[in-house]
Amino acid sequence: MKHKLGGGQYGDVYEAAWKRGNITVAVKTLKDDTMALKDFLEEAAIMKEMRHPNLVQLLGVCTREPPFYIITEFMSRGNLLDYLRTGSRDCVPGAVVLMYMATQIASGMSYLESRSFIHRDLAARNCLVGENHLVKVADFGLARLMRDDTYTAHAGAKFPIKWTAPEGLAYNTFSTKSDVWAFGILLWEIATYGMSPYPGVDLADVYHMLEKGYRMECPPGCPAAVYELMRGCWQWSAADRPSFRDIHHALEHMFQDNSITEEVEKQLQEGACPAGTPQMSLKKAGAGGAGAGGAGGEARAVQM
């Protein structure tokens, strides 16, 4: 193993060299009290089953003795939340690239949806960034196969409150539409370059505010069509939220304008956005005007 990349609820993550394949990998060590071997192997089986260009690929597991290890492909730019907050190579990624990233995440989630899997912890912190702005959904530690339309979490399960749909907060029930709610929050994270959602709101107050109809306002400079997509994800009734297939289609539609496609290709070829990249407009793709923001603070906002 090389240096530590980070840590979380389940254990630490390290960069490592896999001598057999002569490749760099990520190794997640699981805390001794995290889960039983049987549960760990079930989680590993889930990850092994999931194969998509926008999902982090499982390479192997080590269960000889605790702590257990999960070995996955290595993503060189780290998690999306840090990428949004600090930029890439000391520059701010342009709005077109950010929307390209959102489209990739929607593609990966659409695949999970088609396999009747729920992620249950979708957020910018659980998406990883590679070279050329490649993004993959990671951390399937909470992923579950839905045998019915919903999954009920066990008593005492912990949830990321500000990303969790109302039905999850109130009844511990989850579905792919719960992931859709979280994707709306993730879009808001992207549009604000990594701000924490519901700024200034206590965790204990989130559910009651949502129940009364409160939703976060459009971030400054965010086009109406993108904010409308967020609001669709935040419908109180899960049945009224769009599918990931529809979300992916809507985001792809925003790239149909040739000038936008050319700009994405240009930035991908450059490998990194130049400092001071002018922010883009997606109006020709039907994005409409920018809404007034209620995000507050001094966060950078996407001028899409």
What is the per-residue pLDDT across 162-172, written as a single tens digit (0 to 9) for each? Answer: 999 999 999 98
Residue 249 in this model has a pLDDT that exceeds 90 = yes
Instruction: Give 37-64 as a DSSP string.
Output: HHHHHHHHHHHHH---TTBPPEEEEE-S
CATH number at residue 167: 1.10.510.10
Q: 250 and 137: one domain?
A: yes
Which of 122-136, 215-229, 243-257, 262-276 is the least confident region? 262-276
Q: 128 and 215: one domain?
A: yes
Q: Residue 299: inside a domain, yes or no? A: no
More confident residue, 296 or 83: 83
Q: Residue 211: inside a domain, yes or no? A: yes
pLDDT at res. 144: 61
Residue 300 in this model has a pLDDT that exceeds 90 = no
Alpha-carbon gap, residue 104 to 106, rounded angstroms = 5
Per-residue confidence band for 62, with pLDDT thresholds at 50, 70 and 90: confident
Per-residue confidence band for 291, with pLDDT thresholds at 50, 70 and 90: very low
Q: Is 126 annotated as a binding residue?
A: yes
Give the up-direction half-sphere exposure of residue 49: CA atoms within 13 A in the CB hemisphere.
16
More confident residue, 84 or 18: 84
Estimate the crossing angle of helix 176-191 against helix 244-253, to 10 degrees.
30
Q: Domain tally for the chain?
A: 2
More confident residue, 230 or 37: 230
CB 119, CB 164: distance < 8 Å: no
Residue 149 tokens, joined: 């339309």
Look up the domain containing 122 and give its range. Answer: 80-285
Closest among 221, 215, 224 to 250, alpha carbons compared: 224
Looking at the DSSP bridge assignments, the partners of residue 128 are 79, 136
Alpha-carbon gap, residue 84 to 195, rounded angstroms = 9
Residue 215 tokens, joined: 């939703």
Q: Residue 291: inside a domain, yes or no? A: no
Which of the listed ranges 57-66, 78-87, 141-150, 253-262 does the model predict with the highest average pLDDT? 78-87
Q: How many CB atoms lie within 10 A of CB 36?
A: 9
pLDDT at res. 265: 61
What is the per-residue pLDDT across 193-239, written as a single tens digit (0 to 9) for each? Answer: 999 999 999 999 999 999 999 999 999 888 889 999 999 999 999 99
Per-residue confidence band for 91, with pLDDT thresholds at 50, 70 and 90: low
Q: Is 139 annotated as a binding residue?
A: yes
Instruction: Give 61-82 as a DSSP string.
Output: EE-SSSSPEEEEE--TT-BHHH
Alpha-carbon gap, residue 245 to 230, rounded angstroms = 15
Place of tokens 């400079």: 221
Alpha-carbon gap, residue 122 to 175, rounded angstroms = 12
Mean pLDDT along residues 88-116: 86
pLDDT at res. 127: 96
Q: 114 and 238: one domain?
A: yes
Q: Residue 290: inside a domain, yes or no? A: no
Query: Coil, helix or strand for 209?
Result: helix
Mean pLDDT along residues 154-179: 87
pLDDT at res. 134: 95
Looking at the DSSP bridge assignments, the partners of residue 188 are none
Instruction: Identify whether 205 is a catalytic site residue.
Output: no
260 Cβ partners below 8 Å, 6+ apart? Answer: 96, 254, 280, 282, 284, 285
Choice among 82, 90, 121, 179 that is catalytic:
121
Q: 48 and 133: one domain?
A: no
Which percentage of the chain shows pLDDT scores above 90? Answer: 43
Q: 48 and 142: one domain?
A: no
Alpha-carbon gap, residue 207 to 122, rounded angstroms = 18
CATH number at residue 45: 3.30.200.20
More confident residue, 149 or 91: 91
Looking at the DSSP bridge assignments, the partners of residue 18 are 23
pLDDT at res. 26: 83
